[in-house]
A and B are shown apart, each in its own frame.
Chain A
Amino acid sequence: MRRFARHSLTRRLVEAVLTLFGVAVLVFAMLRAIPGDQITATLGTESAALSPDQLASLRDYYGLDKPLPVQFFSWLGDIFTGNLGYSQRAGESVLAMTESALPITIELAILATIVGLVIGVPLAMLSASRPNGARDGVSQVIGLLALSIPNFLIAATLLTLISKYAHYNPNAGEFQHLFANPGVNLQQMMFPALVLGFGLAAPIMRTARTSLLEVSTADFMRTARGKGVAPMRLRVRHLLHNALNPIITMTGIQFGYLLGGAIVVEQIFSVPGIGQQVLVGMQQKDYAVVQSTVLVIATLFVLVNLLTDFLYRVVDPRVRAS
């Protein structure tokens, strides 16, 4: 059994590496397939006025003159030495940019997930405690709203209201990192985390509700109730504990998406996270930035998925045993 576990782990790792290679090829090819390059992105319509000599000089400057396979493998080779490339636009290495942007996105993803769980799980418990009752109806409506109102609308409305009427807009100030200035940082993260978390609460709530309803009719629940287990303990230790697996899966997947950067919300609240880094990179056709950042995001996504699998084992002994 142990050998099997190790075998499955190796297989998962090989799969992960192949997935990442596929992502690398795809992002490299797609970037070059879409119209425009860094020259047209930087100079706009002025690039039409370049003489052939000037154009050749710029192609050399941006490294666009080398054949595509050379560009691909020198990029990939550099990645293995920890060099994610250099952004001519930002005047900084992609590694340094990512080191600044990634923790911001991770923090935002964690905070949003906490908000999502804090709203979603209690709502689900409330709703599952009386299926089809009034509580259930109210919770379901909240869930439906969270699912159907686009987050950019909530974000823009929220921002306008607080700045116009409360003259409070922490996101307009210079961005502060968590450890440099926790007070300001948490204020700056609050609204984006609330908006994202609200959207996240809906799928969590729906998954949790289904799972809770399923578990609540199980035999051991009847036994526990019959044994006289206290209602609160029954709900948390017996019911929620056994219903956790699907909730973790759903949260894990959503968390993975959040790591890709909540581009629109980051944009509206000017959060300099990884989503903005990719977006600006894309607009400016900053190939090094987009390629390497997407690869970093993909790596994280794969890691979070592996971690989610691992969490099942921690939470549910049945998975460990099988």
Chain B
Amino acid sequence: MKLRTALSSPVSRCLAVVAAAGLLASACSSGSNSNSSSGAGGGTLVVGYTADPNTLDPWRATQFQAAHMLEQVYGTLTQLDTNMNVQPGLAASWQYSDDNKTLTLHLRQGVKFQDGQAFSSADVKSSLDRLRDPATAAVAASYIASVQSVDAPDANTAVLHLSTPDAGLLAGLATVNLAMLSKDNTEQQVSQKPNGTGPFSYTTRAPNQSVSLKANPDYWGGKPKVAALQFRIIPDESSVVSAMQSGNVNFAVLNDPTVAKTAQGSGLTLNKTPDLAYHALQLNSRKAPLNNLNVRLAMQCAISRQQVIDTAALGEGTPIGPITSPAFKSDPNSQPCATQDVAKAKTLLSQAGFPNGLTINTIVSTGLYATSVNEAQNLQSQLKAVGITLKLQTLDSAAYVDAWKAGNFTAALALNGGSPDPDGMYGRYFTSTGNLNKVAGYSSPQLDQLFAQGKSTTDPAQRKQIYTQISNNLVDNAAWIWLFSSYDYTAMTKSVSGFTPMPNGSLINLWKTSLG
């Protein structure tokens, strides 16, 4: 009786319908959940990621999240240490021929792919051949452009024949974008189920939720300290910090200095590593008025790099010159107007024929990195003091990338990735045949010559000298205005220990990291 009255009321009838629909809807969803039992704690290190890896193909992984997840699964011929020096990887040792045009790699023995197959020189040859094929569209193909052919005389030896000496080659081989794939795997196969020689092997993935890896006990470097790794997608960076405070996530890489400061204030361990990536105002020297050297120099004089850091990045950064690679680092004070000089900027501007100032259109991205718009606004106010109007065109990331890659801008505020070797870092921008020269907007016969010298010289001291000349040439001509490098922040809960951060943002040391 009671029940009948309850159900006869329209409100309860509606609720009943709604509830039934809910049950039905959720019934469809059960079963699609793959690894519900493996929660945090125990031996699983949970890494908070703000974005889902956008590919499982190591040769095309340029997104931060994809590249650093795949680094756990794949191995490379060489590796970098924390000072960005080249160390053995899958190649245990190597030697150059006298003319530096033949590189013989002696491979590590007893290495296995995660599917159980042995790693051999046939895999090296197959990988390098496929990487160089344009149809593969490997993003790091230009790193091995000097390789003409690869021989595999025996199972443990691979011989690379080069068209010209290439001093940057060994450092280049350390990128996960040149990871070694099994000759038996097509790229399509590994982009479904990765199979590498790295410390962790791929288990499952729930798109937009998580990627799970488990320790590879046969890893040549030793057994990883945790049983499993899970990359959990928490789209909002502040929510990642909340998840760490509640203990559900153990480890995260943070980019926004504001968020990093809150993490530090809330009992998490925060590592701060100077980043190889650099913030710069790219100038297109092929377009008026920036084709006038004095205009570019005037801008360089008008800008205080420290002020940009203080206002836009909460003081979190260091002023830099062009090269950030530790062994070749540019002296930030070796540029004309190392400190702001407004009077000189004004003089240069009159000499350039713009005593009444001028306007420069500048593209700025939103969404690519946290500090972009603040940097742009600070530069705008600094340049205004000498009569230069920076007209900002704020674009969403897709529109920005489109304009950037077409070289379709007068000036562009950018955060560009750095490289352990200065040739890998700037050869592609500032040589006249470089694949990014259109974007760089500047080249000169002197620079072409210097880059060629740097590439063919193997003596480290001589190379250092050559790249210092290159660096000075770039700032003397104000090819771009180099501003600062910021930090990579890795946040960890107190239970995590043993992680060593890398200047290139790599998480390659996660296998040495332990929990509890």
Contacts and interface: CB of A to CB of B under 8 A. Distances in A.
A75 interface: no
Interface string B16-32: 00110110011111111
Given A50-B137, A106-B25, A163-B245, A311 B416 contact: no
A51 interface: yes
Q: Please indicate which of the listed interface residues A88, A169, A314 has the most CB atoms of chain B within 10 Å of its own CB.
A: A169
B436 A167 contact: no
B398 A57 contact: no
B118 interface: no
Interface string A142-174: 000000000000001001101110011101111
Contacts of A276: 208, 235
B30 A180 contact: yes
A284 interface: yes
A187 B420 CA distance: 46
A81 interface: no
B252 to A, nearest CB: 11
A237 B51 CA distance: 51
A272 B10 contact: no
B149 interface: no
A172 B55 contact: no
Interface string A175-197: 11111110000000000000000
B23 to A, nearest CB: 8
A175 B209 CA distance: 7
B205 A91 contact: yes
A209 interface: no
Interface in A256-286: 267-270, 272, 276-277, 280, 283-285
A65 B243 CA distance: 42
B398 A99 contact: no
B314 interface: no
Given A42-B60, A45-B416, A107-B22, A268 B236 contact: yes
A160 B243 CA distance: 9
B38 to A, nearest CB: 8
A57 B136 contact: yes
Interface string B393-416: 001111101101100000000101
A87 to B, nearest CB: 7
A277 B207 CA distance: 9
Contacts of A178: 26, 29-30
A163 B398 contact: no
Interface string A292-310: 0000000000000000000
Q: Which range contains the number of A residues in contact with the other chain?
A: 35 or more
A54 B208 contact: no
Interface in A26-49: 34-36, 40-49
A97 interface: yes
A82 to B, nearest CB: 15
B494 to A, nearest CB: 13
Contact of A103 (B29, B191, B395): B29
Given A40-B401, A40-B405, A270 B246 contact: no
A94 B210 CA distance: 17
Contact of A53 (B135, B192, B244, B248): B135
Interface string B241-261: 011111111000000000000
A307 B56 CA distance: 42
B207 A97 contact: yes
A58 to B, nearest CB: 5
B372 to A, nearest CB: 13
Given A36-B402, A44-B401, A90-B208, A179 B235 contact: no
Contacts of B19: 110
B435 interface: yes
Given A46-B62, A89-B54, A106-B25, A179 B30 contact: yes
Given A54-B137, A267-B236, A285-B398, A315 B10 contact: yes
Nearest to B438: A48
B235 A89 contact: no
A103 B63 contact: no
B220 to A, nearest CB: 28
Given A49-B139, A87-B207, A268-B239, A169 B246 contact: yes
A241 interface: yes
A107 B26 contact: yes
Contacts of A177: 26, 29-30, 32-33
A240 B405 CA distance: 62
Given A54-B136, A104-B29, A172-B248, 20 more contacts: A40-B398, A41-B398, A45-B404, A45-B405, A89-B207, A90-B52, A91-B56, A91-B207, A97-B207, A156-B236, A159-B239, A159-B242, A174-B38, A174-B40, A174-B232, A177-B29, A177-B33, A178-B30, A180-B31, A280-B51
